[in-house]
Structure 1
Amino acid sequence: MNKKAILTSALAGCLVFSTVPTTFAHDMLDDSLAEKGANEGDNLNAIPVLEGNKNLGNWQEVASAQLKEYDGVKNSPADVYAHKGYAYLGTHVSGGGNGGVRVFDMKDPSNPVEIAKFADDISGTWQEKVIVKTVNTPHFKGDLAVVSVQQLDRDHPDSQGGFLLYDVTKPEAPEKLGFWEVDKRVPGTHELYLTVKEGKPFVLAANPYADYFTHGESMDFQLVDVSNPAEPKTIYEFDPRSLPEVSDDFNGYHWDAPDGKTRPVFNHSTMTDNNGDTALLSFWDLGTIILDISDPYNVKFEGRTEYASDVQGSAHSSALAKGGNVLIETREVYNPTRVGYEESYGYTRIFDISDKSNPKLLSTFKTDLVDNIEDGVTFANTVHDPKVHGNTLYLSHYAGGIRAVDITDPSNPVQIGKYVPENAYFWGVFVDRNYILGSDMGNGLKVLQKNNSAQ
C-alpha cells in the first residue's frame, strides 16, 4: 500500500469522530498503518528473537498465534493481560470493530489456544482494554473481567460507550454481569483499570473528552464501585478545574497553560498501585495526576508531573516501580515537529514520587527511534505502553517492538534487550509467570519464554 493510500485510510478511520481533537487519532489505527510501521524503518524487523544481556539473554520467541476469524472478519489485537494461566486480548477497530476479547489458554506457552470470545455484543464498538481480578463480595465471588467499550461512530443508533463486566471464573465460558454506560455523546471508555481493596472491586475509567462533549456535565475520569457488577455505581469524578493552574474557563480540552501555550488535556489512561491506594491518571499535557484513593469515597489530589515549555506532554500511560515510589510515564508523541516544541517522538520519563506532592524527574529514557524524524510523521517511532517486572521495565513500541530497560538505578535507565520480529507492530506488553506476552497488531499474540537449556 502506498503512502497516499495509507494516509487516506487513516483519515477515514478518524472521520467518525471528526470533532474529536486529533491527538486521539492514534486509537483509530488500522491494519494499513501497522503495515506501514512494519515495512518502513531502519531494518528493525529482521530480528527473530530477543536480543539482550543480563537477565534477558536466554529469552526467545516460542509462539505466535493469530486471532480466530469469525464470519470471515479479521480483527487485530489491542492490549493484552494475563490472569491465572490465561491471556486476554482486547481488539482494535480493524475489521469493523466488535472483535471482542479473546481468551487464550496458556497451559503450554509454546502453544496458546484461543478458547473463547466475549464482550462483542454492543453494535458499532471496539474493545481495547481488559483487566481481570479475583474478587469476593456479597454480590459476586470469582474472577471478574472489565472491558473498555468505545463507539466507532457516535451516530450509530445502537452503539454505546462505557465498560462491560464479565464473570470469567470459567474462562472458556464467560458470562455477562453488567454494563456501565457513559453519556452517548462521549466516544466511550478508552483505557481502564480494576483494583481490589479488601475484596471490594473498583474500576478507574478514562473517558477521553467526556468533559469536552458534555460541556462539563461529566468528567474524563470516573471511579466506579463494582461490588455488585450488575449495578455499578459512580462514586467520584476528577475535575481539572479543581487545580489552581487550570482556570474556570477551561473548555474540557484546550488548556491555557502557565507557559503561555494552549495545550490539550484529556484523561487517556488509568492505573493504581498494588494496594489500590494510589491512582495514576494519564492526563496528556496536564501530566500524570496522582490521587489518594485509599478511601475511595473520599478521594484526595496529591500531585502531578509537569513539562518544560518546549516538551509536548502527551502523558499516555503509567506504571510503578520500587514499591510504588518510582513512576514510569510514557508519552505518545507521534508528531515530532510541532512548532515551539523539541523535535522528538515520544519517550519515557521516570520520577521519584516518594513525596507524591512533589514528583521529581530522575531521568528520561529514549530508544534509538525517537530522534529519527527524517521519514515524517509516523506512529512507528513513539513509545506506547509500560509494564514493570522487578527491576526491568518493558515498553511496547509499535514497529520498534518490545524494549527491555534495566531500572535498578531509576536515575540511569539502560536498555538491556529488544524484541523486534518481522512485521512488528506492538500495541501492548505483559509479563506473567515465566513468559512475556506481546500483542502484535499484525501478527497476533506473541509469547517469549526463557530458554532454560541455554548456558
Structure 2
Amino acid sequence: MRNSSALLAMTTLFFCSYAFAHGDTERPLYVAEDGTDEGQCLSPANPCATIGFALAQAGKGGQIRVTEGSYAIEKAEDLFHLISGVVDVNGGYRKAGKSKFLTTGESVLTGVPYEYREQLRGRGFRIVADRKGMDNDKIANTDKLMQLHQQLKSSIAFTPCIGGTAAGLPCEQVDLLSHVGFEDISATPSAGADIWGFVDLNTGREYAIAGFNNGTGVFDVTDATNPREVGFIDGEDEIWRDIKVYQFFDAANDRWRAYAYVTTDGQTNDGLFVIDLSGLPQSVSKVTYTSDIANAHNVYATNTDYSTGLSITGDVPTLIIAGSNTGNGNYRSYSLASPASPTFVSGGMGSGYMHDASSLVITDSRKDTQCVNAGTHCEVLLDFNENSFEIWDITNTSSPVQLSNTPYLNVGYVHSGWWSEDKQFVFVHDELDERRSGLPTTLRVFSVANLAAPVLAGTWSGPTNAIDHNGFVRGNRYYMSNYTRGLTILDITDPANPAAVGRLDTYPVADSTMFNGAWGAYPYFYSGNIAISDIDSGFYMAADMTRDVPQGSLTFASASAAATEGQQGRLFVQRNGGTNGSVSVNYEIIHATAGPADYILTSGVLNWGDGDNTNKTIDISAVNDGINEGIERLIVRLISPGGSATLGNLSTASLYLGDPGTLPEIGFT
C-alpha cells in the first residue's frame, strides 16, 4: 500500500508539473480571501489570497477563478492583465467545501478605474472604487499600458530604435521593421504561438510562418517593412502551435517544392498538419494527410538547413514529433521520403517524454570516437525532456542510441535548447527555474566536447526574472524569446560567457515570470532580419543592429557567382566596418541541386589580420563530369565567426555550375 501511495504521489506530481509548465487551460488557478500566496494555486482547497499572485502563476491560456470577497488590485501591470484578457480571470465564485467553487458568490474589486466597470461585471466582478482610490502613478502607468495594449492590436510601421524605444517598445540596438497585429490578420486570432520561416529558392522570397490559436498564417516578409499575408490554414482553437519546413528540388518539374509541418498541443485532434508551400507567392494549401497522432507539443526536421529547409547531407530528413498523445510523449520519427505524406519509422522512438528537440550533424573526430552508427557523419538529436537533456545518435533512424542523459542543479522544467555553430556547446532553456527557484533569467551553457558526458561550462543571468523560452544561434549571436522581456540578443563569441547586447520588448507591460510575450524568434532569413512571435500581440519583424562592432562584420560581396565545369568558381568575402584585431570565419557547402561529385571543396576558414579589410576568396573547382546536364547549384554559408567579428546580412551565397562552353544565367522566376 505504501508503494502504491508513493507511486500515486509521483504520478500526480508529474502531471501537475506537466500541466503547470504548459499553462494547461483544464487546470484553473483559484483565489480566495482566506487563501495563502504560495505554491501554484491549483486546488480549491489551497487557493491563493490575491489576484496579483495568481496572475504571476498563470500559464499560457490560463484561467483564474475568484471567490466571493474583496480584492485590491495593487499594481498597474496586474490591472492590465485583468482588463486585457491576456489571462482569463473570472469572479463570482463561492466555496463549496474544500473541493469546489460554485458560481454563486460576489467578488468585489478595489483600485480599478470606473471605465472598466461594465467589462468586469460581465466577468463576475463588482467595482466599488474608481480613480479616487488610485495614486497618480498607478493611474498614469495603467493608462500607458492600456494605450500600448490597444496600439499593439493593430499593425505598426517601421520604427527605428532611438533613445531606448521603438513605437513605445523598449529596445536596445534592435530596430522594429514592422508589427502585424491580430486585427490585421484575416482569421483575427486572439493569441500567437511559435514562428518559423524559410527562403523560397524558386524566387528568393522570404516567408514567415506563424502559429496562432486558430491556425497557421503564411506571410511574405521579403519587404520586412510591409509583410503581406499569403494564406491562412484554419485549425482547432488551441494555444500551442509549432512549425518546421522541408524544401527539396523536384527534378521532374524543374522547380523547388516546400512543405510546412505543423503540430498543435492541448485538447485538439488536429494531429500533424502538412501545408503545401509550392503555390507561393500566390497561395498555400493544406495537404490531405491522415495523421496517426491527435496532438503533439512540437515538431522538428533533422538534417535541414534552417534558412531554406534543404537537406544538409543530401540524405532524406527525418521529422521528429515531440510530446504527442501517443505513448508517453516520447519522440516519434517520420521519414520525409514522401514529403507530402510523412511515414512513421518503426523503432525510431525515444524512451521518455520529449518537450522539444534540435539536432546537429557531427563530422569531426567525435563521429568515430563517441557515436555508434556514424559513417561519413553522425547525426545527433538533442532531446529536452522536462528533467534533463538527452543526446541520441540517430544516424540510423530506426535504431537510435542514447549517448548521454544530463540533469543539472535547480532544474525546474527542461524546455528547449540550441547549439553553437562550432558544435561544441549547447544552450539550454529551463521554463520554470525562474519561478520555482527565484532565479533571474538563466541560460545554461553545456560543453558537448564529449557527447557522452556534457559538462556545464557557464551560465548567463539576465537583469530580470522573465522566463527564457526558446533560443537560436546565427554566427556569434543568440536570439532568445524571453517571454515578458521580448527578444533578447546575446553575444556568444565566448559561448561559456554570453553577454546581452540587444533587445526588443514586445511585451512592455512587465518583466515578470508570466507566460506572456515573446514565444519564438526566427533569425535565419538570408536578409538577416528576425521574425518574433508574441502570444499577446501578433508577430514582429526586426533588424539586429548589434552586429556593427569594431572588429567588423563578414559578408559575401554578392549573392551569387557562376562557373563552368572544369573551371574554378570564386566567391568574395568582405570585412565591413571595423578592422580591430585578427578575425576569422568558417564556411561550409550545402549541395542544393549539385552533388559532392560536382565540385572540390566542402569547408574551410578565412582569416584577416589586425587592420586588414581586403577581400578574401572562396575558390571552388567545378568538376567536369562529362555529362550533359542543366545548371546546378551550390549554397555556401559563412559560419562561426571568430575574434568578435560578426556575420553580416549576406552570409549565404550561391554558386551556379554549367556544362563546358556554357555560362550559367542567374535569376529568379
Equivalent pair of 1:224/1:236 in contact (CA under 8 Å): no
Equivalent position SS for 2:176? strand
Residue 166 of structure 1 pairs with residue 212 of structure 2? no
Q: Which runs of 4+ in 1 moved over 4 A?
A: 95-106, 451-455
User: In the alignment, which of 241, 260, 279 is matched to residue 319 of structure 2?
Assistant: 279
Alignment of 1:304-343 (within 5 A): 304-307=348-351, 313-323=352-362, 325-332=379-386
TM-score normalized by structure 2? 0.42
Instruction: Name the CA distance, whole Å, in 1 between partners of 2:445 and 2:389.
Output: 12
Instruction: Give the CA deviation at 1:238.
Output: 2.8
Which 5+ residue runs of structure 1 have no aligned equivalent?
17-27, 33-68, 75-94, 151-160, 241-251, 253-265, 308-312, 333-345, 371-380
Instruction: Name the CA distance, whole Å, in 1 between partners of 2:391 and 2:279.
Output: 37
Equivalent pair of 2:319/2:333 in contact (CA under 8 Å): yes
Alignment of 1:330-369 (within 5 A): 330-332=384-386, 346-369=387-410
Residue in 2 that maps onto 1:393: 426
Residue in 2 that maps onto 1:291: 334
Equivalent pair of 1:225/1:235 in contact (CA under 8 Å): no
Equivalent position SS for 1:354? coil
After superposition, give the CA deviation of every residue in 1:145-204 in whole Å (9 maximum; x if it has no partner): 100011xxxxxxxxxx11000000011111111101124xx4266111123223322111
Which 5+ residue runs of structure 2 have no aligned equivalent?
1-35, 39-47, 65-84, 90-143, 162-170, 250-255, 305-309, 312-316, 363-377, 435-440, 494-498, 500-550, 552-580, 582-642, 645-669
Equivalent position SS for 1:129? strand
Equivalent position SS for 2:405? strand
Structure number with higher relative contact order (C-alpha < 8 Å, ≥ 6 residues apart): 1
Instruction: Give the CA deviation at 1:119.
Output: 5.5
TM-score normalized by structure 1? 0.60
Instruction: Name the CA distance, whole Å, in 1 between partners of 2:178 and 2:212.
Output: 18
Equivalent position SS for 1:322? strand
Instruction: Give the CA deviation at 1:435.
Output: 1.1
Alignment of 1:41-440 (within 5 A): 72-73=147-148, 111-118=173-180, 120=182, 121=185, 122-137=187-202, 141-150=204-213, 161-183=214-236, 186-187=237-238, 190-198=241-249, 199-209=256-266, 213-214=268-269, 219-229=270-280, 230-240=283-293, 252=294, 266-273=295-302, 274=304, 275-276=310-311, 277-284=317-324, 285-302=328-345, 303-307=347-351, 313-323=352-362, 325-332=379-386, 346-370=387-411, 381-389=412-420, 390-398=423-431, 399=434, 401-424=442-465, 425-440=467-482
Aligned residues: 314
Instruction: Name the CA distance, whole Å, in 2 between partners of 1:432 and 1:99.
Output: 30
Instruction: Give the CA deviation at 1:102.
Output: 11
Equivalent position SS for 1:431? strand
Instruction: Name the CA distance, whole Å, in 1 between partners of 2:415 and 2:154.
Output: 22
Residue in 2 that maps onto 1:14: 62
Amino acid across the alignment from 1:359: P
Residue in 2 that maps onto 1:447: 489
- Percent identical pairs in the alignment equals 15
Cα RMSD, aligned residues only: 3.7
Q: Which is greater in Rg?
A: 2
Equivalent position SS for 1:72? helix
Instruction: Name the CA distance, whole Å, in 2 between partners of 1:441 and 1:101.
Output: 20
Instruction: Name the CA distance, whole Å, in 1 between partners of 2:407 and 2:287.
Output: 38
